[in-house]
Amino acid sequence: MLMFNDDSPKNVSQHFIPDENDCRTCNMCVSHCPTFKIKPQQEESPRGRLKMISKILNEGATLSPEEQVHLNNCVECRACEKVCPSKMRYLKLLGKARDKLPSMPILPVVRSLLYFTSHHTTLLRFFKGLRLYQQSGLQDMANKLGLLKLTKTEKLHNMLPRMPEYKHLAKYYAATSDQRGSVGLFTGCLSNAMDNPTLHATIKVLNSLGYDVHVPQQQQCCGAIHKHNDDKATADQLAELNLRAFKRLNVDAIVFTASGCGSPLQQYKRRKLSDEIRPEVELFESKLKEINEFLADQAWPEHLTLEPINKRVAVHEPCSQRFPLGTHEKAYTFLQRIPGIDLIPLPENNICCGAGGTYMLTHTEMSNAIRAEKLNHLKDSNADILLTSNIGCALHLAAGINQENLDVVIAHPVELLAQQLK
């Protein structure tokens, strides 16, 4: 199987691993690898991991326990793919290799997350209960009494922000200015439960721009978390449910606010689907737009003015935005319309923040070490606000900001835009 973008037939029958003739030893992949940045050793680099992958795929060998740890330390950010001049398809190689390795045990916290994200109503009830738990003071009391350490949930509690008030999403929101068209809003799972304000901000902005917004009530999680944890059957079921939810929706676009949902949604054609729903995939995927991309492409109406903001605003560009989607520059387009804004990219946006879906739960030490680099850049930037377009990155960075007691607000770019609308 060709793992490079090479149309020649010479390697069709094998897993193509770069050798000295293919790898240009430019070290671009190494310099963009977040784990190598923390542990500068060959085994923690893409090139080192490719040797392990080659052992599995081309030699049929097994890995030592130490090698398997190094392989599993990969955040799967895909930065190495983006910069490789030989167009290495690293993530696909990694997936093929992992299929031949023994399955790793799933941590209880990840197993719980897999359950909640595949049961939409239960997820919302859980987070509403969590908000009540926080507001009642029980969480602070449990922390003071040492119950969090006793129950070994302290790390998990530290990752959780204060839950925002949940506001129900109606099925339909009419445009509030001259109508341009209509869009469907994909709400996701954690975004709906933990980043509900961003969804309402998105509706406000779209309505102001002249778009009717439809919110299918039967939609579910995109399936990213399940796919990443090898629960392919649930990922297939969720894809089917989402395609059915949007099936009869006559809209110009289907927008999503969490960039991490983008790649899974765009790859529903790879899921196992019923014959009835499979014809819907092509139309569904053709209408998908990340909200930043959609807004950046809109002509801004003259009557729609924005309040000035005299703050320094740093933008963190999620890996899911930079690499699979390629929409990481879009938010700057509409944010620059805000008068007085001091807008800067967070330094080293080409390096992952360490969130990596469930990576921050399964590889806490490495994930936090990667995040520490981001927080140092944030401190040096003197930013008042940090914007990011992925809920996983937002949760991970917010936990670090809270632990460091930094006076920085974290939000989605669309939240800031909606806030400044007159």
Express each pLDDT in 363-415 by its tens digit: 999 999 999 999 999 999 999 999 999 999 999 999 999 989 999 999 999 99
Q: Are the beta carbons of 30 and 46 closer than 8 angstroms?
A: yes
Q: Among the CATH numbers 1.10.10.10, 3.30.70.360, 1.10.15.40, 1.10.1060.10, which is that of 9-99?
A: 1.10.1060.10
Q: Are the beta carbons of 370 and 400 closer than 8 angstroms?
A: no
One digit per residue, the tens of pLDDT, for the chain of length 422 reads 224 444 433 443 344 555 545 666 677 889 899 999 999 999 999 989 988 998 998 888 889 999 999 999 999 999 998 888 877 888 888 988 988 888 778 888 888 888 888 888 888 887 778 778 777 777 677 666 666 565 555 666 666 667 777 889 999 999 999 999 999 999 999 888 889 999 999 999 999 999 999 999 999 999 999 988 888 899 999 999 999 999 989 999 999 999 999 999 999 999 999 999 999 999 999 999 999 999 999 999 988 999 999 999 999 999 999 988 999 999 999 999 999 999 999 999 999 999 999 999 899 999 999 999 999 999 999 999 999 999 999 999 999 999 899 999 999 999 999 999 98
Q: What CATH class is the domain 172-296? A: mainly alpha
Q: At what angle do helices 391-403 and 364-381 cross, to 10 degrees?
A: 70
Q: Among the CATH numbers 3.40.50, 3.90.660, 2.40.420, 3.30.420, which is that of 312-420?
A: 3.40.50
- A 10 A CB-CB count for 175 gives 17
Which DSSP category does 11 fall into?
G
Distance CA 6, CA 26 (A): 19
Q: In this structure, which amino acid lies at residue 44?
A: E
The reported pTM is 0.89
pLDDT for 18 equals 53
Q: Which two tokens stand for residue 136?
A: 């009642």
pLDDT for 13 equals 36
Looking only at Cα atoms, what is the longest distance across the chain?
Answer: 66
Residues of the chain with CATH 3.40.50: 312-420
Length of the chain: 422
Distance CA 281, CA 380 (A): 45
- pLDDT per residue as tens digits for the range 99-130: 888 877 888 888 888 888 888 888 888 777 87
Residues of the chain with CATH 1.10.1060.10: 9-99
Residues in contact with 304: Cβ distance below 8 Å, sequence separation at least 6, in sequence order = 177, 208, 209, 421, 422
